[in-house]
Amino acid sequence: MNPFTHLLNLRVDEDDHGAWLVWKCPQCGELRDFHLVVGEGNLSFIGVELSKPHVLLDLKCAGCAYEVKVSPSEMELLDKAREATRAMKAGSLDAEGYLSALHELNAGFVKDLVALTQVWKCPKCGEENPANFEACWNC
């Protein structure tokens, strides 16, 4: 092992902000709460910071800890997703309305989850294809 690796330190502090989204997890396959985890990290050498703190946003499955990366520029969209999640959990928004509200956000994290968890059936052969496929892989 390189002796300099003991002198370099990558520090990441994480803070769990609770449930911000409900979705079928791509890894465990269950409908789960996804918690917003905000991380702040930087690189240091012998205690001297070499980089400015960098903010990392992840939506993490409460069941299996699967993570979906979120761009910090989408924080406003995350707030809207949280509002919709609270409304759905309070009973003032049904499941269909909840999904519609999330799709209307046009957020990258929603598109990523859709691509990983939803499928469409080919009208020609009936094969299921991931949501991000434009054409049937079987045809």
**CA-wise closest residue to 23 among 114, 129, 135:** 114
pLDDT of residue 123: 93
**What is the H or E stretch that residue 114 is in?**
helix 108-117
Please report which confidence band the pLDDT of residue 66 belongs to, taking 50, 70 and 90 as the band edges. very high
Q: What is the mean pLDDT of residues 109-119?
A: 90
Q: What is the mean pLDDT of residues 95-107?
A: 96
Cα separation of 60 and 97, whole Å?
A: 23
Supply 59's token pair. Answer: 């939506």
pTM: 0.74
Task: Read off the pLDDT of residues 12-38 as tens digits, 9 standing for 90 and up.
Answer: 678 999 999 999 999 998 999 999 999
